[in-house]
Amino acid sequence: MAKHHVNLKVNGDEHDLLIEPRKTLLAVLRDTVGLTGTKEGCSTGDCGACTVIVDGKAVTSCMVLAVTASGKEITTIEGLASDGELHPVQQAFINTGGYQCGFCTPGFIMASKALIDENPDRSEEEFRHALGGNICRCTGYTKILEAVLKAAEEVSATA
């Protein structure tokens, strides 16, 4: 299959790649760029495990063809902590016990970060609905919501 030239900016690094047009952003991030923190839970856009941030918006990377992401700013879970300091959302997931097996966690953290960046002042109910595209099978969501609310509070206090 003919390959296309793609320029991906991932966590600030540029990657010039030749890839088949059928490859998803998820596949390219994991198999070609080698960033395996983004997870594949369904590959049909229904679980949110593959959530990354593209130009400030949370997207399910299994539903995006990599060629269409060329030139855009992509942030994955690996790009969230800076200078060895965890992002408030990451820290909150640790403090509240917002993860168990951790497989959904990168997706949840990225989705939550995008929501909080957009507007941290949401009620629990609003966050519950806004995160409805992400599935966690372990936690029952109680502690995830605690984490997200805590992080949102912290972000809005420092904003």
Site string for ligand FES, 107-136 (x = CB under 6 A): -----------------------------x
- Length, in residues, of the chain: 159
Of the residues 8, 19, 27, 49, which one makes contact with ligand FES according to CB under 6 A: 49
Please tell me whether residue 48 binds ligand FES under the rule CB under 6 A.
yes
What DSSP string describes 75-121?
E-GGGSSBTTBPPHHHHHHHHHT--SS-SSHHHHHHHHHHHHHH-S-
Listed ranges 7-15, 44-52, 119-127, 149-157: which one lies at the site for ligand FES (CB under 6 A): 44-52
- Per CB under 8 A, 101 contacts other proteins: yes
Helix (H) or strand (E) holding 158: helix 142-158
Please state, as a whole number, how many other Cβ atoms lie within 10 Å of the Cβ of residue 59. 21
Both structure tokens of 27? 């596949």
**Closest separation in Å from C-beta 26 to ligand FES:** 6
By CB under 6 A, tell whether 100 contacts ligand FES.
yes
Residue 134 contacts other proteins per CB under 8 A? yes
Q: Can you tell me the distance from the alpha carbon of 116 to that of 153, in angstroms, rounded to the nearest whole number?
A: 9
Q: Which does 82 bind (CB under 5 to 8 A by kind): ligand FES, other proteins, none?
A: none
According to DSSP, residue 5 is labeled E
CA 159 from chain centre, in angstroms, equals 22
Binding residues vs other proteins (CB under 8 A): 20, 22-23, 27, 30-31, 34-44, 46-47, 49, 76-78, 80-81, 86, 90-91, 93-97, 99-106, 109, 124, 127-129, 131-145
